């Protein structure tokens, strides 16, 4: 049934002259890792620190859940399961790891669904957030890189994690000194997920020529990315709360300055430093460390920098 739905959508995509294709390519872009990380960073640095921390905590948790489910289920991508599925070529570059559940759908549920969970926004805004989550999820089916159950479970699990994160953040607001225990538990879970992904066996299916169809170790790379981001957020979050304590109650000029400098340096870190680390440290360790550096910069290092500059 799931492959049949993708084939119907594929037939429409190919026979409809590209109608909706560009629009849904843009919608899937809204669920990409760098897109959601930049959105959360801007909110955290310039708009609402508490909102940004909530979104990043929920997203970090979702990356752990996504990685854990992927390496447990080990579901191959649709075009591997059925050669009749021909995904959109431009989208395949971001279709990494195993297929179930959809990472883009969980990213969308984390950021736009996370805003939907909170009651801070107007009804019209929350409708827009809900439509964005739905369209990002559907775009993964339309472009042929995920099955319907991949995105349905991805959205459902993502929203559940955001609800739990919202409740957790409300509890921390009442008991601020207990935040260290939340961080410790999160770090322990991250280590357990990384260990599980590293030691578990993966399917080893071969084609008719005797070549390995999917390398499980490479498919598990998404899990180590999630572990790196999660650990960096938790450590950076605690350090910021103890040592930096910046505020977003600032003038429009300072917001724009943070935005410009923050985005420039974020892309310098992501496009130059992170690939250097990943290439210098082999295997899962390089993936984990490079993603740790990226998130730690967002959560702690850049806030420490601009707080020092603004105070002086």
What pLDDT score was predicted for residue 17?
A: 66
What pLDDT score was predicted for residue 79?
A: 87
Nearest 5°: CA angle at 234, between 232 and 235? 65
State the catalytic residue, choosing from 63, 146, 221, 225.
Answer: 146
Specify the pTM: 0.92
Residues contacting 235, CB < 8 A, separation 6+? 183, 187, 296, 300
Rounded Cα distance, 244 and 308, in Å: 9
Q: Is residue 12 part of a domain?
A: no
Q: Is residue 14 part of a domain?
A: no
Contact 262, 39 (CB under 8 A): no
Contact 292, 229 (CB under 8 A): yes
Residue 207 backbone phi and psi in degrees, to 5: -85, -175
What pLDDT score was predicted for residue 14?
A: 79
Q: Is residue 119 part of a domain?
A: yes
State the catalytic residue, choosing from 49, 104, 140, 258.
Answer: 104
Report how many domains make up the chain: 1
3-state secondary structure of 203: coil
Rounded Cα distance, 153 and 155, in Å: 6
Q: Is residue 11 part of a domain?
A: no
Structural domain boundaries enclosing 235: 2-6+20-311
Low-confidence ranges of the chain (pLDDT < 50): none
Q: Is residue 219 part of a domain?
A: yes
Whether 146 is catalytic is yes
Whether 175 is catalytic is no
């Amino acid at each position: 049934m799931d492959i049949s739905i993708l084939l119907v959508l594929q037939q429409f995509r190919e026979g409809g002259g590209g109608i909706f294709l560009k629009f849904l390519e843009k919608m899937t872009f809204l669920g990409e890792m760098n897109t959601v990380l930049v959105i959360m960073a801007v909110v955290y640095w310039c708009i609402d620190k508490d909102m940004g921390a909530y979104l990043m905590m929920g997203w970090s948790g979702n990356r752990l859940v996504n990685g854990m489910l992927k390496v447990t289920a080990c579901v191959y991508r649709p075009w591997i399961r059925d050669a009749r599925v021909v995904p959109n070529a431009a989208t395949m570059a971001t279709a990494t790891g195993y297929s179930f559940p959809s990472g883009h759908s969980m990213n969308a549920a984390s950021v736009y669904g996370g805003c939907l969970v909170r009651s801070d926004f107007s009804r019209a805004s929350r409708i827009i957030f809900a439509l964005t989550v739905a369209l990002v999820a559907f775009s993964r089916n339309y472009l042929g890189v995920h099955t319907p159950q991949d995105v349905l479970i991805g959205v459902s699990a993502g929203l559940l994690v955001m609800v739990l994160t919202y409740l957790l953040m409300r509890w921390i607001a009442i008991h601020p000194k207990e935040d260290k225990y939340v961080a410790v538990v999160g770090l322990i879970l991250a280590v357990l997920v990384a260990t599980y992904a590293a030691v578990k066996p993966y399917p080893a299916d071969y084609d008719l020529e005797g070549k390995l169809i999917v390398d499980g170790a490479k498919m598990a790379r998404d899990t180590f990315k999630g572990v790196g981001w999660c650990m960096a957020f938790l450590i950076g979050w605690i350090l910021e709360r103890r040592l930096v304590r910046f505020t977003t109650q600032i003038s429009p000029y300072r917001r724009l300055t943070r935005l410009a400098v923050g985005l420039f340096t974020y892309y310098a870190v992501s496009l130059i430093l992170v690939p250097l680390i990943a290439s210098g440290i082999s295997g899962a360790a390089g993936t984990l460390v490079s993603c740790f550096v990226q998130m730690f910069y967002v959560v702690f290092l850049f806030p420490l920098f601009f707080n020092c500059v603004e105070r002086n």
